[in-house]
Amino acid sequence: MSVLCVIATLSSLAMFGAWLWQQHFKNAGIVDVVWAFGMMLAGPVYAFTGNAPVALQCVLAGLSFAWFLRLDLHLLRRFQSAHEEGRYQTLRNAMGKYTGLGFFLFFQLQAGFIVLLTLPFWAVAQNSAPNPLLVISGLILALFALWGETTADQQLAEFRGQQHNKGKTCRHGWWRYSRHPNYFFEWLHWFAYPLMGWGGDYQVVLWLAPLVMFAFLYFFTGIPYTERQALLSRGDDYRRYQQSTSAFFPWWPKPSATKI
């Protein structure tokens, strides 16, 4: 059985277990935690079963593990500190008496996303003739993205931790220059894999990774949902934020931002 089939099978089984858990506890947010955990483990598995030189194997394994470990811990803290998220409550209400089947299919879809979104790791692991300079450049880029996303998450957590900021929008640090700096740095890190995979059989196809992630974050699962929720919870304050601050790419806010 190929390593791709192994990852697909394990992902499906893990999501089946997560589905059984949510059937009992009625909190579908566990799917995010299990998804990130699957992504975290897939990278090292692909790295150490591929044809790449040992140095690239270690870089790929360490980078993918560290990136998704941070994300998994972040999602786990959020999952443990709150009731079921609004998006999953909406899904639960919409599915009605078919909730069990609906969430089963949804969880298995997330297993499919684990396989799909870790394909860049597998492709890099097949690169038997990497360019050392590009590998180092990719690692530096990924470390910068990791620092940026970690910093943005910390800034937002500190802002939300202050009671007087309830109902307000964070405009400090990275959040002054982008409404979604965490998504920006998530997207930026995916450029590391085309750089590391350059010289291999999939060097051109790997550039689809950042393109696909941009589409997901900007048009589908990221910004649209987050913005809808922010407008519901923060209303006019967030509308003013939208008018003054870049949605994705960090940029200087419009002059009106300084007057809020």
Per-residue pLDDT of the chain (260 residues; tens, 9 = 90+): 599 999 999 999 999 999 999 999 999 999 999 999 999 999 999 999 999 999 999 999 999 999 999 999 999 998 988 788 888 988 899 999 999 999 999 999 999 999 999 999 999 999 999 999 999 999 999 999 999 999 999 999 999 999 999 989 999 999 999 999 999 999 999 999 999 999 999 999 999 999 999 999 999 889 998 999 899 889 999 999 999 999 999 999 998 644 44
* pTM summary value: 0.90
In angstroms, rounded to a whole number, what is the distance separating the alpha carbons of residues 22 and 16? 10
> Long-range pairs for 235-243 at CB < 8 Å and ≥24 separation?
237/167, 237/168, 237/169, 238/169, 241/169, 241/171, 241/179, 242/179
Distances (CA, A) of 98 to 62, 106, 147, 222: 41, 12, 42, 26
Measured distance CA(134)–CA(146) in Å, rounded:
18
Helices (H) and strands (E) in the chain, counts: 11, 0
Residue 41: count other Cβ atoms within 10 Å of its Cβ.
Answer: 21
Phi, psi of 16 (to 5 degrees): -65, -45
pLDDT of residue 218: 96
